[in-house]
Structure 1
Amino acid sequence: MTLASLTHATRADMAKPAEPSARFRDLAAAEWIKIRSLRSTFIAYGTTALAVLAFNLGQAYDTYNYWTARTAADRAQFIADGIPLQHAFNTNAALIMMLALGAIGAFTIVSEHSTGTIRTTFAAVPARSAVMAAKAAVLAAITTVYGLLLAAASFFGTQAILGARDAGVGIDHPGALRVLLASALLAPVCALTGFALGALIRQTATTMIASVTVLVFLPIALTDGRYWSALLGHAQPYQAWLRLAEPPSIPPQFGWTETGAWTVYAVWVVVAAGLAVVCVRRRDQ
């Protein structure tokens, strides 16, 4: 090849238009394909749903079974105290969902680090922040829909069981929609928290321990007995859910508002997604 022909070929290569960068919707579509192509995804979500429904419907059935043993005054007080809404999504079901969704969110990114496929992803799309943002967006969308379906199934299922004893309430009952939404949105909050911890830690066992500690152990350890403990406790997703879903039978010493609880949800989502996007820029892979 002569110098002239080499120069001509070089100029031709330079004249070729650069390949366009990957669009966000393309990255999101790729992440959706990854998630739905894994059998473990359906097993994890399905098992979690069965466990949550078992706790909620089981408690409602227990109340149904022993309803005739209650006095008339107890039956009236049952509805007046908002207990049907507690049955719609009880604390055991909420804790199970928090643990499971935190693990699912963490596995979304940790699995790619453990198998090394994250290197291939970043080689194909060097814009790491965009990749992580797409992962977070798809995870948030899936878990939000999942949470809504699960919360709705729990609510209408439990109220149908209680309604057979004239103890159920409808979705138009005061506080019912709040309980349903708070329980549903707990899913994406926990999933994104696990996702952020997975992006930061990258090791399966350590990430799972951190997820359980942050989502469950820490809010349980913090009490309302002291101001700073109450303040930190109220900033946790679990206690925010309690504020929105549980009837306040005993007002806490350091009270807080429903708006504050919703704000906790929003802050955890933004911070978790932001942490996952930012931390990947400062890593080698």
Structure 2
Amino acid sequence: MTATALQQTRAAERPGYRLRHAARMEWIKLRSLRSTTWILAAGLVVTIALGTVAGLNTSDPKGDVTSNVLSGVIFGQLLLGVLGVLVMSSEYSSGTIRATLAAIPRRPLVLAGKAVVFGTVALVAGEVATFGSFLAGTAALRSSVPQPSLSDPAVLRAVVLTGAYLALIALIGLGIGAIVRHSAAAVTTLVGGLFVLPLVIGAGSHTVGQFMPELIVGNSLAAVRPVKDFGMSPWLELGIVALYAVVLLGVGRALLVRRDA
């Protein structure tokens, strides 16, 4: 048997790539980038620091203290969303996407691997950020303000769902990165969707505001007593944000199949 025939035989016998292979490759790439570590660390520090400051400035004993000390997620979602964009778009700007697709030609599998790995990392980071923000913020409360406790199911729900929200925003960023591919344009789209659009559309209508991620987290997910104009349950509101992530990732998947690398 010639060397060429032997190589072809071995290639035919080699098992095809699966999701676990794509996820392993993405995990190696993700943890080897210093920017990932720095952005995640900055997000954790700033979110917890803002929660502490919010706790120090909380003076109303009858207000929603939990929502106040979790207010730092407004900044944390920006960092995780931008990181999600860069996980996808940076490969196109640097040209490393060619090596990625040479190793795993199935582009939807590449995106799935990124979503699984980065989504898991973002979920862990999001929960650490929200629990850290809650604990630091409540520790900084004045003696005249009652401290909420994680033993209260409503408080625990608010903290956990807010951490899950951060992970979904990270996946939304990943989806936008897969659609737009250009880092600056994708980040602009993300910021516009998270912060500008709610001001333009949601501020004047609570009905529309129930479908805006930034308003959802502040008025429903992070709130022990959700704003009454937000008639849907926090779990359903989280499902709306999850739907955004699924739709954007789905569109990104479809465009990856059609476009050239």
**TM-score where L is the length of structure 2:** 0.89
Which residue number corresponds to residue 255 of structure 1? 231
Contact preservation (8 Å) 1:161, 1:168: no
Partner SS, residue 200 of structure 1: helix
The correspondence of residues 216-231 of structure 1 with structure 2, limited to 5 A, is 216-223=195-202, 225-226=204-205, 230-231=206-207
Deviation at 1:144, TM superposition (A): 0.2
Percentage identity across paired residues of the two chains: 29
1: CA distance between counterparts of 2:10 and 2:28?
31
Equivalence map 1:171-250=2 (5 Å): 171-223=150-202, 225-226=204-205, 230-241=206-217, 242-246=219-223
CA-CA distance at 1:12 after TM superposition: 6.0
1:118 matches 2:86: no
| Distance across 2 between alignment mates of 1:265 and 1:244 | 11
Contact 1:197–1:207 (CA under 8 A) maintained in structure 2: yes
Matched, 1:47 2:42: yes
In 2, Cα distance between equivalents of 1:250 and 1:133: 36
- Note if contact 1:85-1:245 (Cα within 8 Å) is conserved in structure 2: yes
Take 2:89 and 2:235, find their aligned partners in 1: how far apart are those partners?
A: 34
Summarize the alignment of residues 73-84 of structure 1 with structure 2, pairs less than 5 Å apart.
78=61, 80-81=62-63, 83-84=64-65
Aligned AA (2:53): G
- TM-score (structure 1 length as normaliser): 0.82
Please state how far the C-alpha of 1:170 moved relative to its aligned partner: 0.8
> Is 1:87 aligned to residue 63 of structure 2?
no
Pair 1:10–1:109, CA change in 2 (3 A): closer
CA gap of 1:248–1:281, structure 2 versus 1, over 3 A, is: same
Counterpart for residue 24 of structure 2: 29
Inter-partner Cα distance in structure 1 for 2:99 and 2:111? 14
Secondary structure of the residue that 1:136 maps to in structure 2?
A: helix
Deviates more, 1:255-264 or 1:212-221: 255-264
Structure 2 letter corresponding to 1:89:
L
Moved more, 170-179 or 33-42: 170-179
CA RMSD in angstroms comes to 2.5
* Cα distance between partner residues in 1 of 2:214 and 2:85: 18
Gaps of 5+ in 2: none
Superposed CA offset, 1:255-277 (max 9, x none) = 33334312213212322332232
Larger radius of gyration: 1
Provide closer, same or farther for how the CA distance between residues 126 and 88 of structure 1 changes in structure 2, counting only shifts above 3 A. same
Q: Which amino acid aligns with 1:244?
A: L
CA distance in 2, matches of 1:137, 1:211: 20
CA distance in 2, matches of 1:239, 1:178: 17
* Deviation, structure 1 residue 247: 5.4
Alignment length (residue pairs): 259
2:210 partner letter: H
